[in-house]
Structure 1
Amino acid sequence: MDRTFLMVKPDGVQRGLIGEIVARLENKGLKIVAAKFEKLPEERVMEHYAEHVEKPFFPGLKSYITSGPCFLMVWEGKNVVSITRQMIGATNPAEAVPGTIRGDYALEIGMNVIHGSDSTETAEREISIHFKPEEISGYERIDEKFLYE
């Protein structure tokens, strides 16, 4: 099974969307294997967003992502990265179709509710930044035999 990293950002937490987002992903058939609720420390923000540190928008991004707690998660399933990216919707909520998380709950790029890894390589990197291996719990869902061929 593949894994990906998802994070409900401070605006999603403040708006009470954690349960809705988790329910959508579970109802799809994906499996949550790790989660934590925390205000991100600066060192992990710098590591997570390393490719953006020198960009002009980074100070605002850093201020926003550390403005309150986030809900960090590791999800598992076949093709989980592409499936979750489709469920999340376009980065710009104005371009996200209705039925996606951003299409239903976000209005601005800067506050777009959720982050999701964009590739399996990125997922591995982001998971390793936020979770220790022992914090990830593998298990078999009772309905997996009805989800996968």
Structure 2
Amino acid sequence: MKQYTYMMLKPDAFQDQQQEKILKMIKDHGLSIEASQTVEVTMDVMKILLEHYHQVIDEKGPDFHFPARLFNTFYFHGPHYIMPMKVSYEGDEDIIAYSRKLVGKTNPVDAKEGTIRATFSQDSYELADSENRLVNNVIHASDSIESAQRELQIWHDYL
């Protein structure tokens, strides 16, 4: 049975043409990118990103200043592109667990060798906090089927 999830390349994935290597790694692990688009991060896209991350914003609370950090990370620093993706999988494992195992832990310094984040990011929470931004970990992967469905709906105009 074909399963679906949402993944998104973040701006730091577009440095040094890393995005092509990341996409190859995703495909080499048996995941299919059904729909994707490279999107310039404009103010309208920032509004969608705020909607996308609203649960994280609520969880972190006002003292973390997530919207400001998001803006600093996705709009001011580095390349100004993201790539929303509808991803499918027809293997035996749960797509969420399988894709998140490939992606690696959110904090790249904690990600296992061979994962996307360990391979393509040398950032850390500590460095990001010192620079008042979010951690540069190159990719987002939905953490549940419900999140994937919600995120696919949020980004449907780009898929």
Determine if the TM-score, normalized by the shorter chain, exceeds 0.5.
Answer: yes
Going by fraction, where is helix more abundant, 1 or 2?
2
Quote the residue 1:97 is aligned against.
112
Letter in 2 for 1:50: H
Q: Give the Cα–Cα distance (whole angstroms) in 2 for the partners of residues 118 and 66 of structure 1.
A: 24
The count of residues paired between Structure 1 and Structure 2 equals 134
Quote the residue 2:146 is aligned against.
121
Letter in 2 for 1:62: F
Q: Give the Cα–Cα distance (whole angstroms) in 2 for the partners of residues 123 and 17 of structure 1.
A: 24
| TM-score, scaled to structure 1 | 0.82
Could you list the structure 1 runs, at least 4 aligned residues long, displaced by more than 6 angstroms after superposition: none
Consecutive unaligned residues in structure 1, runs of 5 or more: 137-149
Which whole-Å deviations, capped at 9, do the CAs of 1:17-37 have from their partners, x for residues lacking one?
111111111112211111011
Q: Quick one: percent identity of the two aligned structures?
A: 29
- The RMSD of aligned alpha carbons is 1.7
Letter in 2 for 1:69: Y
After TM superposition, give the deviation of residue 104 of structure 1 in Å: 1.1
Query: 2:25 aligns to what SS in structure 1?
Result: helix
Which aligned pairs between 1:1-149 and structure 2 lie closer than 5 A? Answer: 1-40=2-41, 41-54=45-58, 55=61, 56-58=64-66, 59-67=68-76, 68-78=80-90, 79-109=94-124, 110-132=135-157
After TM superposition, give the deviation of residue 61 of structure 1 in Å: 2.1
| TM-score, scaled to structure 2 | 0.77
Q: Give the Cα–Cα distance (whole angstroms) in 2 for the partners of residues 29 and 108 of structure 1.
A: 27
Consecutive unaligned residues in structure 2, runs of 5 or more: 125-134
Query: 2:17 aligns to what SS in structure 1?
Result: coil
Q: Is the 8 A contact 1:11 1:111 kept in 2?
A: yes
Quote the residue 1:141 is aligned against.
none
Query: 1:107 aligns to what SS in structure 2?
Result: coil
